[in-house]
Amino acid sequence: MKTQTRLADNFQLQKLILFVIWPLMSLILAIRNYRSSFSWIFVWMFIGFYGFTFTYVSDAFDAERIERQFSDANSMGFIEYVGFDGAFWEGNTQIVQPAILYIVSIFTGDTRILFMVLALFFGYFYTKNIFLVRSIQARKVIPLGILLFILFAFTISIWEINGWRMWTASHVFFYAVSQYFLNDSKKSIFWILITPFIHFSFLIIVPIALLFFFTKRLPLGFFFIVFFIFASIQQIQIDITQIAIDLPTFIDSKVDSYGNVDYLEDRTDHTSQLNWYAAIYRNALSTFILIFIAILYLKISKYSEVLPKNIKLFLKFVLFFSAFSFLMGSFTFGDSGRFMRVAYMFLLLFIILLQSYYPVLYKFKWLKPILFILGIFYLIVEWRVGLDRMSIATFLANPVTAYFFEATEPIIISIKELLS
């Protein structure tokens, strides 16, 4: 036993040394040895390193705003910063990011260290989530299982630290909910309640999640039907600003901000400038998921009665939550589709869970090529998006060389120059 422990410790030390030399290779080894209890730490460390080397193509990204706020934090005292930023007053709930910005600014003005800290916070929950999903999958690796896992890992990818508040809150929420249902962790409720302090939109998400407990005794088939109804009306555009609801001042101001005509026109213009594949690739993921959910509904009688109670309850929640996420995706309210991306994470875990109990595709083999085409298309374009937010240092540098030799140009620019 002591010999095995010593060998494991030596292996982890080797990976740590490798991380210092070449972080990308340590990430690859951690993924290959995913069953090791320490592998998630090296994935987490790489995400922190990615944050240190993070870059972006355009100042239209949220990262540019984070840099400006960080610069303000560096030049102000605490009282002045609180009043200037407006994050800690007028009822605004989004206090986590400005708090991190100010704390980091006390020690450094280097934006690379700031993004490393933000990436580590994001990466902790991201890593926990992907390793949870991998632990649920069957030990026998099959191509479809690999595709499902990779799709989950890149539904809200590590380069989404660009939109740190929304996507960090999404991973925290997913982590807390999955731990609550699958591992009976009552402590995870704390993290659910924290999410509105990361991004205000979870003031809407959390009550919807709580509403589920009034309907949880209904049969699983009912939740499938509700899901399909809401998914079918998702294409209807609803102007939320015209709905007469008295909202708290700070929420109402956000609705005005995200729902005003200029903001919506800016988003429309941005979408129209995208390549065709960038404009539709998330539809490929949505179609992939809906096909799978439809098959699972057709086979509900095969597995409904054999599911453990906590699994069945979790599946009901996923369908309930996803139905409302699809409904919110129909609102003309900024990037309302962001709620659907949170739902996609839950739905992919839904599929993976049920696949482990009942592999439904064995009677629908003709669908496999279609599913693979949709999934691979999504992943190719998502990786193309990621190249806008990675530098050559992400792939080739280490913590020492990255500190002294800053690479600010996204790698996609170098690739285009080579191909031109």
> Residue 163 falls within a domain, yes or no?
yes
> Residue 394 falls within a domain, yes or no?
no
- Please tell me whether residue 410 adopts helix, strand or coil conformation: strand
> Residue 239 falls within a domain, yes or no?
yes
CA angle 137–139–145, rounded 5-degree value: 45
CB 128 within 8 A of CB 40: yes
> For 166-200, how does the pLDDT look when each residue is reduced to its tens digit (9 = 90+)?
999 999 999 999 999 999 888 999 999 999 999 98
> Residue 75 falls within a domain, yes or no?
yes
Is it the case that residue 227 has pLDDT exceeding 80? Answer: yes
For residue 238, the 8-state DSSP code is B
> For 211-225, how does the pLDDT look when each residue is reduced to its tens digit (9 = 90+)?
999 998 999 899 999
CB 134 within 8 A of CB 152: no
Query: Looking at residue 21, what is its pLDDT?
Result: 92
Cα–Cα distance for residue pair 244/246, rounded to 1 Å? 7
Is it the case that residue 6 has pLDDT exceeding 60? Answer: no
Q: How many domains does the chain have?
A: 1
* Residue 21, C-beta contacts closer than 8 angstroms, at least 6 positions apart: 398
Is it the case that residue 288 has pLDDT exceeding 80? Answer: yes
Phi, psi dihedrals of residue 137, rounded to the nearest 5°: -65, 155
Confidence of residue 111 (pLDDT cuts 50, 70, 90): very high
Count other Cβ atoms within 10 Å, centred on residue 262.
Answer: 8
CB 142 within 8 A of CB 96: no
Query: Looking at residue 53, what is its pLDDT?
Result: 93
Is it the case that residue 47 has pLDDT exceeding 90? Answer: yes
Q: At what angle do helices 164-182 and 202-211 cross, to 10 degrees?
A: 20
**Stretch 336-354: mean pLDDT, rounded?**
88
- Please tell me whether residue 391 adopts helix, strand or coil conformation: strand
* Structural domain range at position 258: 34-389
**Stretch 109-124: mean pLDDT, rounded?**
95
Which has the higher per-residue pLDDT, 184 or 15?
Answer: 184
Pick from 187, 344, 332: which is nearest to 268 by CA? 332
Query: Looking at residue 284, what is its pLDDT?
Result: 92
Is it the case that residue 158 has pLDDT exceeding 90? Answer: yes
**Stretch 129-154: mean pLDDT, rounded?**
86
* Residue 8, C-beta contacts closer than 8 angstroms, at least 6 positions apart: 36
Lowest mean pLDDT segment, chosen from 134-143, 208-217, 280-289, 403-412? 134-143
Is it the case that residue 64 has pLDDT exceeding 70? Answer: yes
**Stretch 373-381: mean pLDDT, rounded?**
95
DSSP for 251-278, written as a single string: HHHHHHHHHSHHHHHHHHHHHHTS-HHH
> Residue 420 falls within a domain, yes or no?
no
> Residue 26 falls within a domain, yes or no?
no
Query: Looking at residue 84, what is its pLDDT?
Result: 59
Cα–Cα distance for residue pair 249/263, rounded to 1 Å? 19
Query: Looking at residue 240, what is its pLDDT?
Result: 46
Confidence of residue 89 (pLDDT cuts 50, 70, 90): very low
Percentage of the chain lying above the pLDDT 70 cut: 80
Query: Looking at residue 195, what is its pLDDT?
Result: 94
Question: What Rg do the C-alpha atoms of the chain give, in angstroms?
Answer: 22
Query: Is the C-alpha dihedral spanning 149, 394, 123, 44 positive or negative?
Result: positive
Which has the higher per-residue pLDDT, 393 or 268?
Answer: 393
> For 254-286, how does the pLDDT look when each residue is reduced to its tens digit (9 = 90+)?
555 554 444 444 544 444 455 767 778 889 999
Percentage of the chain lying above the pLDDT 90 cut: 40
CB 318 within 8 A of CB 347: yes
